[in-house]
Amino acid sequence: MPLDLTADVVTLTAALCDIESVSRAEAAIADAIEEALTPLGHLTVTRIGNTVVARTEQGHDERVVLAGHIDTVPLTDPPNLPTRRLPGGDGEGEVLWGRGTVDMKGGVAVQLRLAATVPAPTRDVTFVFYEGEEIESEFNGLLHVEQQRPDLIEDADFAVLLEPTGAIVEGGCKGTLRIDITTKGAAAHSARPWNGHNAIHDAADVLSRLTAYEPRTVTVDGLEYREALNAVSITGGIAGNVIPDRCTVSVNYRYAPDLTEEDAVAHMHEVFDGLTFAVTDNAGGARPGLDLPAARAFVDALGVNVIAKQGWTDVARFQAMGVPAVNFGPGDPNLAHHDEEHCPVDQLVASEAAMLRWLA
């Protein structure tokens, strides 16, 4: 059934959720979004794979991006679709229940409503509905746009990623770096350990440095980011009667967006001076850019609380393209991917109203 962009935002969210779109199977929902947007004369629509980009071209001095991914994690067993409207608990009011209501088809519905109901926004808008966010980076639709048609995004002054934030603004995001620190020993029989050298015992040096480490709290563009450095796994040993000749401690560094990816690696060399490590993953953070006019106008128009995003999101991809970005959308992020995923109806309505105040 075609999407009805004149329907209210709750009904539209339900319709989007009921089009099953687990990652790598987004063709049906991308088709529906493209079909709904193409007849709108004020938009130029481009499709790249299962990512749909729609742009206004009114010649404003300022352009903003509104983005949201259209894929979800797999359904539960039994399936948490089709959606249902249910009474909420603990004074929550009515909720929309089902896969995607939080992460993040509520935000996508808000985008579609704005695309359809604000033909003459106060600034030019690029709407991005992208595939493959919930899985490996190579499948990410924003990455595909960056690689194939960067001109569709790079001319923007500011971006809003409509990920669930509980309808408050979460500015930018922290970077995430993972390293493996491996200690090496010599294997021997555990009854005669003097014939070998225990690599797991040597890992005590790594763990003591982590225990003593004092993470920074950094203010960036007026928001406070709390860094974190933690061991997230430790592996070593091959049998209960063998002195281990190798031990690997995996460490995750969540760093503030005032550091580059190279800065983060350099800091790990400082912390683990004298030790050798391998970088296994490094994704830079994103500044919120709240000092910029477009960002200030967004925050002022919404009139909601603003905090720092303490995790990592695709706003970092916008940062890599030179576009500062924030997160704002309906739904409690703690319920993302949850068996009982649900979003308060009033958050969907309030999020659309807030965005309308900004664009209309």
Q: Which of 124, 131, 133, 170 is catalytic?
A: 133
Whether 35 is catalytic is: no
Q: Which of 71, 170, 227, 245 is catalytic?
A: 71
Beta-strand ranges (E) seen in the chain are: 44-48, 51-55, 63-69, 84-87, 94-97, 124-130, 158-161, 169-171, 175-184, 188-189, 217-220, 223-226, 228-236, 242-243, 246-255, 277-283, 306-308, 325-327, 342-344
Tokens (6 digits) for 31:
């088709």
What values do phi and psi take at 243, rounded to 5?
-65, 125
C-alpha closest to that of 107 among 352, 336, 316:
352
Whether 340 is catalytic is: no
Sequence-separated (6 or more) residues with CB below 8 Å from residue 176 = 252, 253, 254, 255, 281, 282, 283, 285, 312
Task: Assign 192 to helix, strand or coil.
Answer: coil
Tokens (6 digits) for 28:
């049906």
**Alpha carbon distance 84, 296 (integer Å):** 37
Alpha-carbon distances, residue 307 vs 169, 171, 240, 290 (angstroms): 6, 6, 49, 11
Q: Annotated catalytic sites, by residue? A: 71, 133
